[in-house]
Amino acid sequence: MNQYLAHIAIVVKDYDEAIAFYTQKLHFELIEDTVLSETKRWVKVKPKGSTECCLLLAKAANDEQKSRIGNQTGGRVFLFLYTDDFTRDYQNLIDMEIKIIREPSHEDYGRVAVFEDLYGNLWDLIQPTLPHRSI
């Protein structure tokens, strides 16, 4: 059997502002933006070089969904962005004025910092000690 995660849905306030953040500030690739209805689009972004999972940007459609924007996991780190060059990508966060929640540290599994996306979701930026090591 072969399984994998294809998409992770992240609830957003607005498609275009979310696309701009992920593509212009984090330098993700927009891989799909398909209009499904007057109010719904199928929008996928992924980190450059990623061949696995991508983010599905899902616009909140009601008050309950709107209440989850930026806090889908109760304040815990939500997404883990692996990098092959921590210094480059951390400097990009600084240059793009992305809020740093926890300064870089060296852990057993690698170098890590926590940052916040445009809505307040928490991310780990990680350069693993060993390539392709899952933590």
Q: What is the pLDDT of residue 114?
A: 98
Look at the chain and report how many structural domains it folds into.
Answer: 2
Question: Both 65 and 76 in a single domain?
Answer: no
| Position 135 pLDDT exceeds 50 | no
Q: In what order do the strands lie in the sheet with 7-12?
A: 7-12, 54-59, 41-46, 29-35
Tell me: the pLDDT tens digits for 76-130?
A: 999 999 999 999 999 999 999 999 999 999 999 999 999 999 999 999 999 999 7
Q: Is the pLDDT of residue 133 over 70?
A: no
Distance CA 128, CA 86 (A): 9
Three-state DSSP state, 18: helix
Choose one of 51, 69, 87: the last residue of a domain.
Answer: 69
CATH of the domain at 86: 3.10.180.10
For residue 120, what pLDDT is reported? 96
Q: Mind listing the pLDDT tens digit for each residue in 12-62?
A: 999 999 999 999 999 999 999 999 999 999 999 999 989 889 999 999 999
- Asked if 63 and 5 sit in the same domain, the reply is yes
Cβ neighbourhood burial of 101 (10 Å; 0-12, 13-18, 19+): middle
Q: Are residues 44 and 83 in the same domain?
A: no
Q: Are residues 21 and 75 in the same domain?
A: no
pLDDT at residue 134, rounded to an integer: 52
Same domain, yes or no, for 95 and 117? yes
Same domain (yes/no): 59, 92: no
Last residue of a domain, one of 69, 100, 117: 69
Answer with the one of 69, 89, 120 that is the final residue of a domain: 69
